[in-house]
Amino acid sequence: MKAFLIRTMLVIVSVILLVQLWIFASLAWWRTHPVNTTMMMRIDYWSEPSKPIQHQWRPYDEISLNLKRAIVTAEDGKFIHHHGFDWEGIQQALNKNRDQGRVVAGGSTISQQLAKNLFLVNKRSFVRKGQEAVATWMMERMWSKQRILEVYMNSIEFGDNIYGVEAAAKHYFGKTAQSLTQDQAIFLAAILTNPKYFQDHRNSSALNARKRMIKRYMRYAELP
């Protein structure tokens, strides 16, 4: 029995180490290479193989400044200042969720969201959150802030099988991510909280309120 437990523990530790090695190697490769697929994209494809993923990589300099400011404002106003974790934001989210008695807010940064999208399944658990924290810690030390934002903008979901700002700009406005106007950029940033819902509910009061918030504060967004 003791030998069995030891072998089981060794297998578990080995799997954990292999996962960390995979994440490290992927991050090292993606420092200089485009990210053409993520775990979230794979899950979407596996769920419905007949439906193609809409995605096209765009370098940082070929993405509208309006969109960069809108996304940072909407998703992580302290992005340029933290090292992967916004502890104050996490505490505020915990307090809000406790007061409401359910999960109504999250404190995840752009770096944490990107780590989840690249490597993890979208299922809440302590194991997943722990792995997300490790991947975020690695990413913040291996990549620049500009690289993190660049990959995030190219990887985030904007609707049903729509990933990245280029695919989103073409789907919603028939133009490139570089030529988006301020209002168009604000719309794309606003739908990120629930893209598949807002894709079909573009006049939602919640979406309009979020658009107003982004427009009010995006001038203050600090970019890498």
Q: What residue segments make up the domains of the chain, in order of their start?
A: 56-220
Tokens at residue 107, please? Answer: 């404190």
pLDDT of 122 over the 80 cut? no
Lowest model confidence (mean pLDDT) among 2-16, 19-33, 53-67, 124-138? 2-16
pLDDT at 201: 93
CATH number for region 56-220: 1.10.3810.10
Most confident of 50-64, 92-106, 117-131: 50-64
Number of H helices, E strands in the chain: 11, 2
pLDDT band at 13 (very low <50, low <70, confident <90, very high): confident
Q: What is the mean pLDDT of residues 126-135?
A: 84
Q: What is the pLDDT of residues 74-113, one digit of tens each?
A: 999 999 999 888 877 667 655 665 555 544 445 689 999 9
Cβ distance 143 to 150 under 8 Å? no
Per-position DSSP letters for 77-95, written without gaps between them: TTTTTSSS--HHHHHHHHH
φ/ψ bin of 174: left (φ > 0), alpha (ψ from -120 to 50), beta (otherwise): left
